[in-house]
Structure 1
Amino acid sequence: MASILDMSRIPFIPGVLHATNNPYQRYGPKGFMETKVLPNDSLYVRVDLPGVPDDAIRYRVDAVRQKLVFFSGEETLRDGIKVEHVREYSGSAGLGCDCCEITGVDAKMKDGVLRMIVSRVKVKDHDNKCTHFVPPNAGKSGRYDYRLASDGRHIYDVNSFNMVEVEDHPLVVKGRKDVLLRQRTSDGCFHVSVDMPGVCSDDMFILPNENEIKFYGENKEVHEHDESCRIFMGAIPKGTCCSRGIPLLNHDIAWDAEFGVLKVRVSPPPRNNNE
């Protein structure tokens, strides 16, 4: 059964990025990491770790000062991905004060996103409400693509995408830091990986045509503490994933998704022995 996508509510602004941590994100909370105080005074921490399996995350609380939660994880090696591109993540989040201590961590990893509820308790200055936590945000995530007119006004330029400063993932300690990975293997196949943290495989789609391979993803199951869903969309031009002289739609285009990463494989047609 064909899937029908409601594209009417997806904002489209030519030449403008919604979030510089992911150039394909068109809607939703920005940044590689988000931290906020919950009504019960616990901390909610969201961390994007695309490619990390749900059971491959490690975390521990600083045993000396009870201030920080350290976390790490490794991406799985997949077909078409070179070992040097496999990512390892490491980072920390927690308290930025001297009046509280961490008492517990409830951590869950799903679809390339680590979500933690960090419980804390006041150990001094009990009468003062504490709102200090670290880091406040990982990533600038909001810089737009614009140029200045002669009179100083901002004019959005649909042809100046290269002027945008797209951010590298600050928590990657080994491997690639880019959202998009494009490789060609010895068998002539093109492999493309696109990070869509938080989106499950059932909510990712590819829509190929003669000029490009469009992709779309949306995390429809929004976590209770997330601001909203996130929507990703973009396209892979045929010139970067297509054998020379062969129409794109003559290729075998296959895809799957796992742990918040869309993986597309474009294989050229079999060679004709008579040629």
Structure 2
Amino acid sequence: MASSTSSTQSQSPLEEEGPFFSDFGITTSGGLYAKNNPFQRSGPTDAMERIALANDDLYMRVDLPGVPKEKSFYFLDSNNNNVFFGGLAPKQYQKEHDQEREYGGFHGLRCGCCKVTKLHATFTNGVLRMILSKTESKKNFCPTVPHKLVDPIGIASSHEVKPDYAVKNPFQTKGPIESFGAKKVKEGYYVRVDMPGVAEENVSVGVEDGRVFFSGKSRKESEHEESGRTYLGSFGPIDVDKLGKIKSDVKDGVLTMLIPQKGEE
């Protein structure tokens, strides 16, 4: 899937008229490069990636943006048939201007004669990476059922249908499903952009022609991944004459910015 340098503009989910997000990543066919994140420009798309390894192990990447390591979980059930995973992404800003997000899902075996014998997992910058190993049990025999790990299943959740740029993470069970958002606050504007996998040192924020531009790049964290991912977008227009110092922070794969406008009440 190739990306181009084309861009488009779309009104962001603000409570009132004002600055909006733009410079979405558009492919040569005119669609978004990554429907779950309009600012992604390269790398694997979707919130989940599965790769079958040569030794019949399974590699899984699951995006859980906003979830700190201490709020994440992953474990095998008592029968060693399923691995459960998820986490809680706390509010990033003041209580009245943000919402927490929750994630939960599981991945398991289709047959009854195999067991997951090993689960190796790492969690960095809002991304869970797992390698699942299995073995066939001699106690049970079910030749008619494939000895494979089934498709991941998200714990049931309910959300209204959203535009393409708000494709829901299949494992998200609570909170705003958009990968970006903006709020008019007392100090100016509070902006959130999901960049799962991106560390703080690989994010840039700057102002040009009355717009706040942001970009981020994640490196390839596993030998099983094809590549890292890149993100690029902008927010504006901003009155540069009233612009104070932008306060940006990157935590658990989420970029947040407080864009102060002098004289705002």
Which among 106, 110, 121 is matched to residue 96 of structure 1?
110
Residue 41 of structure 1 corresponds to 56
The question of whether the paired residues in 1 share the 8 Å contact of 2:242 and 2:262 is answered with no
Q: Does 1:193 align with 2:192?
A: yes
How far apart are residue 166 of structure 1 and its match? 3.8
Residue 167 of structure 2 corresponds to 167
C-alpha separation in 1, matches of 2:167 and 2:224? 25
Which among 11, 29, 42 is matched to residue 27 of structure 1?
42
3-state SS in 1 of match to 2:201: helix
How far apart are residue 255 of structure 1 and its match? 0.8
Deviations 1:3-50 (A, max 9, x none): xxxxxx974245431111111111111111112221222211110000
C-alpha separation in 1, matches of 2:91 and 2:198? 20
Q: Which has the larger radius of gyration?
A: 1
Deviations 1:142-176 (A, max 9, x none): xxxxxxxxxxxxxxxxxxxx974641222121211
Unaligned runs of 5+ in 2: 7-25, 155-161
The question of whether the paired residues in 2 share the 8 Å contact of 1:34 and 1:136 is answered with no
C-alpha separation in 1, matches of 2:31 and 2:51? 27
How far apart are residue 111 of structure 1 and its match? 0.3
Q: Give the aligned residue type for 1:43.
A: L
The question of whether the paired residues in 1 share the 8 Å contact of 2:38 and 2:165 is answered with no
C-alpha separation in 1, matches of 2:175 and 2:212? 26
The question of whether the paired residues in 2 share the 8 Å contact of 1:59 and 1:69 is answered with yes
Q: TM-score, normalised by structure 1?
A: 0.74
Q: Does 1:113 align with 2:127?
A: yes
State the percentage of identical aligned residues: 32
The RMSD of aligned alpha carbons is: 2.9
Residue 257 of structure 1 corresponds to 250
The question of whether the paired residues in 1 share the 8 Å contact of 2:51 and 2:224 is answered with no
Q: TM-score, normalised by structure 2?
A: 0.77
How far apart are residue 127 of structure 1 and its match? 9.8
How far apart are residue 263 of structure 1 and its match? 0.7
How far apart are residue 198 of structure 1 and its match? 0.4
Larger displacement relative to structure 2 (81-90 or 207-216): 81-90
Larger displacement relative to structure 2 (197-206 or 83-92): 83-92
Q: Give the aligned residue type for 1:225.
A: H
C-alpha separation in 1, matches of 2:241 and 2:141? 65
Counterparts of residues 133-148 of structure 1 (less than 5 Å):
133-135=149-151
The question of whether the paired residues in 2 share the 8 Å contact of 1:47 and 1:113 is answered with yes
Cα distance change on mapping 1:82 and 1:40 into 2, 3 Å: farther
The question of whether the paired residues in 2 share the 8 Å contact of 1:33 and 1:137 is answered with no
Residue 247 of structure 1 corresponds to 240
C-alpha separation in 2, matches of 1:12 and 1:100? 48
Q: Give the aligned residue type for 2:196.
A: P
Unaligned runs of 5+ in 1: 1-8, 139-161
C-alpha separation in 2, matches of 1:53 and 1:136? 22
C-alpha separation in 2, matches of 1:137 and 1:211? 44
Residue 267 of structure 1 corresponds to 260
Counterparts of residues 192-231 of structure 1 (less than 5 Å):
192-231=191-230
C-alpha separation in 1, matches of 2:48 and 2:90? 21
C-alpha separation in 2, matches of 1:97 and 1:38? 19
The question of whether the paired residues in 1 share the 8 Å contact of 2:59 and 2:224 is answered with yes
Residue 19 of structure 2 corresponds to none
C-alpha separation in 2, matches of 1:190 and 1:181? 10
How far apart are residue 57 of structure 1 and its match? 1.2
